[in-house]
Structure 1
Amino acid sequence: MIVYDLHCNNGHRFEGWFGSSSDYQMQRDRGLVDCPECGSNLVDKAPMAPAVAQKGNRGATRAPASEGAQLSNAPMPPEVAEALTKLAKAQAKALESSQWVGEKFAEEARSQHYGEKDEAPIHGKATREEAENLAAEGITVAPLLFPISDPDKLN
């Protein structure tokens, strides 16, 4: 999945998750990408700084204070903690009515999409490539925001 920072013509900024850059463009061209705040479908990608991984043979270095944001061990702001708690509860509630299909997620999603099985909420594991292929086929998939454990492997 690809995460884009997006903005609408009213100046609202938000994230969008897409299977590929062409998936984003296709959805945008069809007017399917809407601002969650105002509903405008006049949406463009916002400027983003690329995430560049450090070479494996280099030790971690810290940028001087004048070069940007600093890491902090300060407690999480209460608003952020509250938002994360609400998101985690919403995910847990959604998963209550969803069936765990494990490694067969892509296979099960396709079976439902193509009418071979009745549609029902499912969750499981998929590789990035499997998720991208599902999205390219028009099958709606979304990553879980918080990791979950395989129910068969819980104590």
Structure 2
Amino acid sequence: MIRYALKCTNDHEFESWFASADAFDKLAGARMVACPACGSTEVSKSLMAPSVRSGRKATAPEPVPEAKPAPAQGALTKPANPMEQALAALRKQVESQSEYVGRNFVKEARAIHDGGAPERAIHGEAKLEEARALIEDGIPVARLPFLPNRKTN
């Protein structure tokens, strides 16, 4: 695994892990690496210092006085900044006003479009090529900027 510092054309900086340098090149070339702030797929590596471990054994360090732990900043599941708060609000709105159909999204979207299922707002999961096929067939779909609950930690 390799971690890269990345930057989009809108100067947003972020980091991501990749299986290898070739994996990054392939994903970036296919525009499958997107900026989490703006969604831009024009992403490039930015300068970062590598993490290198010394091969020599170091001399025993001097004892350091035990530091008091920093006060807790809140639960990890709470939004930390305005962008995360906006995404949390969007997620709440989408989930409360539409039906989650999971991996049946493509089938349900086609059935609703063709009149074989009642018209309603739905959200779910689809492979990229399936979503493209829906769009090419005139079925309006949009990618959501968050994962379904079952795919989050």
TM-score range, shorter chain: 0.3 to 0.5
TM-score (structure 1 length as normaliser): 0.46
Larger radius of gyration: 2
Select the structure with the greater relative contact order (CA < 8 A; seq sep ≥ 6).
Answer: 1
